[in-house]
Amino acid sequence: MSMTYRPLGRTGLTVSTICLGTMTYGEQNTEADAFAQMDYALDHGVNFFDTAELYAIPPKAETQGRTETYIGNWFKARGNRNKVILASKVAGRDRGGMTWLRKDGSSPEVNKVQMIEALEGSLRRLQTDCIDLYQIHWPDRPMPWGSNPTAFKAKAYEGSENSMLEALETLQTFVKQGKIRFIGLSNESSWGAMQFLKLAEQHGLPRVETVQNAYNLLNRTYETGLAEISMREQVGLLAFSPLAQGYLTGKYLGGARPAGARSTLFNRGQRYETPNAEPAIRAYVDLAREIGWKAEELALSFVNSRPFLGANIIGATTMDQLRINIASIEKRMTEDIESRINAIHHIYCNPCP
């Protein structure tokens, strides 16, 4: 197996097409599991790891920060921090009562004081002096969750917010201090991405290099506007949920709930349980079977092949899953397979935005 690599925005860094997602570390995965996954990923050409101050998922006070702690302990044990391009995130404005995230019990916001606290906590847990890519996990302003909805809801845009300019100025301070190198966004819209780019150009502030959004066969809304921004502005997509939280493997078809699976444990898969989700998933699973691939190979190969992709963030709770996900780099998307995928997409267009 030979990993492929891509430029990370305009940073000059080159990252593996497959990025190791880590949000299960500290919840579904033990520290020993995490060490084994990171060892395997690095040994197989994955040089890009993504985490967040919020992790493990699902978010709760008891596990917050545990993922970064496991990664930091791995860096210390292996002495290999210089081999990994490391991404982490500061939480956006609170949408669910996460007052336990800040020491003083404040509701999380993207403001200077909280960003400083968040970064210092991440650096301490990760046992590093610098994070390569520091991302705003979701926008501070009110907007629809999912960033690119298929139906307009005016109330989704109501509420308070902090200045994007303040966020960029704070991030610039972090860069000057040598605590971060580059910045990115997550769960962001086309307007938000362009606004950050405009403010950076106007005020000489750090330029956004990536947008980390959900992107998979059931949710291709990124293509509507953000894909053009990625292509023309060199702001790469860091695609999360490429397997739609495991639904695209077919393991939940017919209402199945396998033991130990994410939706079995936490019942948080409603995004992928919409009316047209199941027939779409069945169609993609059937297509994979027809061409002799695993369902996950089809889903991941599609994401890997996108020209606007910066990296494909895979996650796994077992080593078998990890091996399949990383090996997906060997499956090449052909024009015929993509045409058949698009035929399904035109019938079941973005059922899970």
pTM score: 0.97
Given this model, what pLDDT does residue 133 score? 99
Evaluated on CA atoms 48, 52, 53, 54, the torsion sign reads negative
Give the C-alpha separation, 65 to 189, whole Å.
Answer: 27
Query: How much is the pLDDT for 108?
Result: 95
**Domains annotated on the chain, with CATH:** 5-246+299-333 (3.20.20.100)
DSSP 34-70: HHHHHHHHHHTT--EEE--TT-SSS--TTTTTHHHHH
The pLDDT, as a whole number, for residue 180 is 98
Q: What is the rounded end-to-end Cα distance, in angstroms, of the chain?
A: 33
Cβ atoms within 10 A of the Cβ of 344, count? 18
* Site of tokens 């702001």: 235
Per-residue pLDDT tens digits for 310-326: 999 999 999 999 999 99
The conformational region for residue 27 under phi > 0 = left, psi -120 to 50 = alpha, else beta, is alpha
Write out residues in the chain with pLDDT < 70, as ranges.
1
For the beta carbon of residue 104, count every other beta carbon within 10 angstroms: 8
pLDDT of residue 146: 76
Q: 55 catalytic, yes or no?
A: yes
Q: Which of 5, 25, 40, 55 is catalytic?
A: 55
**Taking Cα atoms as reference points, which of 22, 36, 41, 40 lies closest to residue 87?**
22
Average model confidence (pLDDT) for the chain? 96
In this prediction, residue 151 carries a pLDDT of: 87
* Predicted pLDDT at 261: 86
- Whose CA is closest to 67, among 121, 125, 13? 125
Taking CA atoms, 246 is separated from 40, 262, 271, in Å, by: 21, 8, 12
